[in-house]
Amino acid sequence: MEWNPQTLQFLSDCFLHTLSPTPEPRRRAEASLLEASDRPNYGLAVLRLVAEPNVDEQVRMAAAVNFKNHLRGRWAPSASSDEPNAVASPSPIPDPEKDQIKALIVSLMLSANPKIQSQLSEALAVIGKHDFPKSWPALLPELISSLQKASQASDYASINGILGTANSIFKKFRYQYKTNDLLLDLKYCLDNFAAPLLEIFLKTAALIDSTANSGGGSVATLRPLFESQRLCCRIFYSLNFQELPEFFEDHMKEWMTEFRKYLTTSYPALENSGADGLALVDELRAAVCENINLYMEKNEEEFQGYLNDFALAVWSLLGNVSQASSRDQLAVTAIKFLTTVSTSVHHKLFEGEGVIPQICQSIVIPNVRLRDEDEELFEMNYVEFIRRDMEGSDLDTRRRIACELLKGIATNYKKQVTDLVSVQIQNLLTSFAANTVANWKDKDCAIYLVVSLATKKAGGTSVSTDLVDVHSFFGSVIVPELQSQDVNVFPMLKAGALKFFTMFRYHISKQYALQCFPDLIRFLGAESNVVHSYAASCIEKLLLVKDAGQARYNSADISPILGALMTNLFNALKLPESEENQYIMKCIMRVLGVAEITPDIAGPCITGLTSVLGEVCKNPRNPVFNHYLFEAVAILVKRACEKDPSLTSAFEANLFPSIEIILSNDVSEFFPYAFQLLAQLLELNRPPIPPSYRAIFEILLSPDSWKRASNVPALVRLLQAFLQKAPHELNQEGRLSQVLGIFKKLLSSPSSYEQGFFVLNTVIENLEYGVIAPYVTHIWAALFTELLSRRTIKLIKSLLIFMSLFLVKHGSTNLVETMNAVQPNIFKEILAQFWVPNLKHITGPIETKLTAVASTRLLCESPILLDAMATELWGKMLDSVVTLVSRPEEDRVEEEPEMPDLAENVGYTASFVRLFNAGKKEEDPLKEIKDPKEFLVASLATLSASNPGRFPQVISQYLDPANQTALLHLCSTYNCPIA
């Protein structure tokens, strides 16, 4: 794309039309730009348009956004065209164009207005992420040179643009693992940028001081100065994150002096100028708190000289931070710093007279109390409220971080904190009792303190507390809320009570908890989304409680309330905004896994679930809800049909319309689920399978069905079900060759070859030898070709299991002859190179038994091994079999983690999600053989009886001494001597 007046006009018109409120011209313009973006120099042309002063600012802004997004997709495109279901990669920007963009972008960014500057700074950061510093050595010198010029001119618009860009490109030092390459990049940045950073930081600090001292200064003057200091603090954080650099250690005093000043000085000109001005000061203070917290965590020894002053400064600052949500970030970062100090060797700062009570009174309790913002979130966005409150993602909220501070102090002053908080809890409950309507927030605060300060037992789900007697607190404080007849009054208090019940479920006796179940069921009808979600979560978690490995609650416990429970759960899904409530659906799934599923329960449940499925098929939005929905269907099908197989056809009648919608409307997110459910239903059928499955079989054999990688495991599962239930269908219309074509395609990809073996094993296991005979040499040829190109342990293990299955199903003669038909004597080579050395890697009880029995049969039946010339191979084979059967897996398996094939993993693809409740039952192909160890020594005893004296010598020569001992022990155990 040449840069000329025509290009300028074309791009200007397109970007103007992308801003049109009318859909048609907007779509046309977007399509034109998309087409143009594949041409060389498109990005360069858009960047030049952004720099044109005569073009309308809105058009230039749209172009700047487009330029940034163009770079994101094309500077270093990552999706691989080898990926079967990846979106085709956009064509990358050619190197000459990249060089021109890099030459122009810094100067253009600095001359742009703030909004466009922000977009170009982000675009520059995109380039920097991939190219800086190695492929863009000119960037840092150019930024430093520009920073020095802008500093001399006191041009803070440019200064902040440069610092913003530096902040973006240095962020990688916070998030990447420490490697030699990263440390070399960091050293380069420190060597060049640390001194200029300190210089501009100190210059700006002096300007702020002089402005503030000469009458406060105007907001317009102070705003860019404070923004500059905030950016310097963020860069400081990035450059210090990995380790303390020498330059920063040498200049710690300058940095810390200014940091402390921003925590202890007020700036009325800004702070009283409205919310924006106060936010700017708070953002700088929060950045300072993050920096001193970083030093406290990583450089405690070097920082200790400044610690007392900072602790006092932060403490004083917190006393003046209001409860307004706009000041949350500052409050949270400040409290985090005190928490870090409380758990460090410098915790003695907290042991002074009255310090802990004062912290509790002035910092903890005010920040734990409910605020208007919390109530608003509870009512307006229940999903976010639960995410923060119940799921523990509220670590950056005032409530949680205040409790973390108490926990931190309790590390060294447990009794003092426990006594103090226990008294606070009693005071709050007394206040509530005095006026339950006006003081309900006091009770909420008391419950929150108990729940948040509970400690979780290592490795378990049970929690404990020293603050209250749990049983007594539950009876006197929680149960009255649960028994409240109006489920909609004080909903936040109800939610807190339900959360307490959930958290301390292990402490509440079974009898007591069962008395509360009817109340939990009532709460499923509460108007508040949080309350009915917490009720569902409480029931679901109670059903998971185990005592000595046994479930505490069983089907008999919930039978009396099952009808009401399921009715209220399905009704809760009809409440506004809970149509896709994942907590309710998870509870439905859990109840169906515990309850006794009778036909009168199964009928309404499958009707309710398919109704919900029909709705979510229209627009799948919540993947977690959808997963629990399919799990609920799968467990209902499994438990109902295991008890009453005649229900299978009723479930098929209910589910097939939904599955048909999924397949015909290309609801791709649900394909893996649909195929797993079909496999589950098919496995429940007795042959002959119903005609309705035949159309699905045709879809299954179509190559198009296998193009999406995320579908493959579920399709394999379904294909296995067909092979088991309808093997005769494969003899018709060349279907077996289609199945083997699928096997070859799966085998050829590193990400799916194991799935290919699953298909192949099922073919071998379920079809007569006469049916598969014409194809066997082609199968071996494909396997040997793959083995030549990729000799991974996983592939070899899969091959050993397949060969073993072939042998036990169709005999060692057929195995040897068909392999040697591909290449003379290849069987013996495979045996020596792959079978013998890798047998010890086999894992899993069924796989171990299968390969041990197959190997034993080769030892005792195969002429190749029994040939006098093959004595060494026979001895080594026996040594491997004894290792396999006599040693535990952890002693013999040394599997190396394999490097993933990058072509298979780069880029986003929808992933396969296994339905736990629709899992395939593992079939044992050797049910008649109970013990492979006994089979081994009995077979050896029979063999040696016909050749007395031949094998003891071979055993002593080729078996490892430990294996000789193990074999002798087995012979003795089963009374099978080797003659």
Position 670: which residue type? F
Each residue's pLDDT tens digit, 395-426:
678 888 998 999 999 999 999 999 999 999 99
Residue 212 pLDDT:
81
Of the segments 102-116, 366-380, 559-573, which one has the largest average pLDDT value? 559-573
Q: Is the pLDDT of residue 199 over 50?
A: yes
Confidence of residue 86 (pLDDT cuts 50, 70, 90): very low
The pLDDT confidence band at residue 642, using thresholds 50, 70 and 90, is confident
pLDDT tens digits, one per residue of 842-859: 998 999 999 999 999 999
Q: What per-residue confidence (pLDDT) applies to 979?
A: 75
Work out whether strand 455-456 and strand 463-464 pair parallel, antiparallel, or are unpaired.
antiparallel
Residue type, 92: P
pLDDT of residue 129: 86
Residue whose C-alpha is closest to residue 565's, from 546, 540, 544 = 540
What is the rounded average pLDDT of the residues 69-96? 69
**Other Cβ atoms closer than 10 A to 485:** 7
Domain positions in the chain are 1-77+91-119, 132-296
Give the pLDDT of residue 14: 94
pLDDT category at 394 given cuts 50, 70, 90 is low
Predicted local distance difference test score (pLDDT) of residue 916: 81
**pLDDT at residue 702 tops 90:** no
pLDDT of residue 909: 33
Q: How far is CA 154 from the centre of its chain?
A: 47
Helix (H, G, I), strand (E, B) or coil at 937: helix
Q: What is the pLDDT of residues 915-929, one digit of tens each?
A: 887 777 778 888 899
How much of the chain exceeds pLDDT 70, in percent? 95
Q: How far apart are CA 462 and CA 129, in angstroms?
A: 44
Look at 274-278, 597-601, 849-853 and tell me which has the smallest mean pLDDT.
274-278
Place of tokens 């049909």: 641
pLDDT of 908 above 50 = no
* Residue 646: per-residue pLDDT: 87
Alpha-helical segments (H) within 265-299: 268-271, 275-298
pLDDT at 901: 33
- Which contacts qualify for 606-615: CB closer than 8 Å, 24 or more apart? 606/633, 606/636, 606/650, 606/651, 606/654, 606/655, 607/654, 608/566, 608/570, 608/573, 609/633, 609/636, 610/654, 610/655, 610/657, 610/658, 612/573, 612/585, 613/658, 614/657, 614/658, 614/661, 615/579
**In the predicted structure, residue 905 carries a pLDDT above the cut 50:** no
Q: Which of 296-300, 317-321, 430-434, 480-484 has the lowest mean pLDDT?
A: 317-321
Mean predicted confidence (pLDDT) in 323-338 = 89
Q: Residue 978: which pLDDT band, with cuts at 50, 70 and 90?
A: confident
Determine the pLDDT at residue 898: 38
Q: 550 φ, ψ to 5°?
A: -105, 140
Contact 370, 441 (CB under 8 A): yes
Q: Which pLDDT score is estimated for 77?
A: 73
Is residue 159 scored above 70 in pLDDT?
Answer: yes
